[in-house]
Amino acid sequence: MDPLRWLANDYFDLNGLHVDVLEKPPTALEFSRLVHISRPVLIKGFKIAANSNLWTNEYLIERMGSRPISIAVTPNGRADAITTGPNNKLYFTEPCVEQMTMPDFLAKLSGNASHPQEGQSYDCETYYLQSQNGNLYSSRFFDGHDDGSSSPEFEPLRRDVPSEIPWCSQPLDRTPDAVNLWIGDGSSVSSIHSDPYENLYTVVRGEKSFTLLPPTEGWCLNERVYPYASYVRDPASSKLRLQLSAEETRVRWSSITDPNIPGALCDSAHPIHIVVKPGETLYLPAGWWHYVQQTGITVALNWWYDMEMRGPSWALLGFLRNMKDVPDGNEEEEVTTNETAQ
């Protein structure tokens, strides 16, 4: 049998769809065991100031004032995703990043919330705060180089968010690589991908719905390589348009745009669905694939910790990534066309 299929099947036979639910945060020793097991865990009762009903729109506006913040703008709510461009060619597409203020941003989300139709916002654009560059705390902070002159965009909200989670930092023996704020609504989705980080994801408001696959089932996602594009705002029309990359940048990404569509995944894939509600925290282990949807205006925080590179974990993730060919995402279609033509 194909090695990747064998490992996926055996892993599933051993682990099933099991997800631990903890009624209170684990101790450092308990979390260390969870990292070794490397399965998702839903953790309740992780209390921080940010998730004590403090973060109303009014509070966020008051704290942030008129500071510029970076917002991802797309015509379809799909930032960092595969998009059809000119000549029906597929592109890995990054959003247009625009500077605005918190009041402006939240107003756009509010407008959007009254239009629950997914992928369609009030002005046919979707706004998502997803800068994910350590927008609350970055490695500069932990290295002691965050002197205030180069503080991240959401520095005024730091008072409500601990820079690290003691029961994570202790067992992992490190500080986070990045701590991020995420704000969006139901019109934004995150396409399925995986990160080489141990991820702690806390929902403050709204709901996040995760569709998860273990690293062993990554080959079911039919990764392809795509040319790179990004949305830019046309100065003349003020509309977003796709700008193709002049460089030969190619991005490896799953060709499955929505793993929840019946038949999208092969038989060996066993997706796990977890809804994370306010005050709840998801431990998303390194290498797990995740597709994320939101319900209503959703405010969340995440702590990314570098995963352990020593031992088998990193080597196993590399193996799972590298044992399958990753064809060109646009050539396959040509092949299909040829076959149809013949």
Backbone φ, ψ for residue 10 (5° rounding)? -65, -40
Provide the β-strand partners of residue 171.
none
Q: DSSP states of 170-232 as a string? A: HHHTS--SEEEEEEE-TT--EEEE--SEEEEEEEEEEEEEEEEE-GGGGGGG-EEEEEEEEEE
Which of residues 264 and 317 has its CB atom nearest to its own copies in the complex? 317
Minimum CB–partner distance for residue 172 and its own copies (Å) = 8
Minimum CB–partner distance for residue 177 and its own copies (Å) = 18
Minimum CB–partner distance for residue 61 and its own copies (Å) = 42
109-126: burial string, b at 16+ Cβ within 10 Å, e else: beebbeeeebebbbeebb
Which of residues 40 and 329 has its CB atom nearest to its own copies in the complex? 40
Which of residues 29 and 49 has its CB atom nearest to its own copies in the complex? 29
Token output for 316: 């196993």
Which of residues 238 and 322 has its CB atom nearest to its own copies in the complex? 322
Minimum CB–partner distance for residue 195 and its own copies (Å) = 17
Say if residue 92 is exposed, middle or buried (CB neighbours under 10 Å; 0-12, 13-18, 19+): buried
How many other C-beta atoms lie within 10 A of the C-beta of residue 182?
Answer: 23
Minimum CB–partner distance for residue 267 and its own copies (Å) = 18
Which of residues 244 and 316 has its CB atom nearest to its own copies in the complex? 316
Minimum CB–partner distance for residue 9 and its own copies (Å) = 10
Which of residues 59 and 314 has its CB atom nearest to its own copies in the complex? 314
Residue type present at position 271: P
List interacting residues with its own copies (CB under 8 A). 3, 6-7, 10-11, 14-15, 18, 28-29, 32-33, 35-39, 170-171, 173, 215-216, 308-316, 318-319, 322-323
Which of residues 86 and 311 has its CB atom nearest to its own copies in the complex? 311
For CA atoms 281, 282, 284, 285, the dihedral sign is: positive
Token output for 273: 């669905």
Token output for 42: 């839903």
C-beta separation of 102 from 60 below 8 A: yes
Backbone φ, ψ for residue 294 (5° rounding)? -130, 155
Minimum CB–partner distance for residue 332 and its own copies (Å) = 24
Strands 69-74 and 96-100: antiparallel
Q: Cα(first)–Cα(last) distance of the chain, in Å?
A: 32
Which of residues 21 and 315 has its CB atom nearest to its own copies in the complex? 315
Dmax (CA) of the chain: 65
Minimum CB–partner distance for residue 148 and its own copies (Å) = 34
C-beta separation of 259 from 271 below 8 A: yes
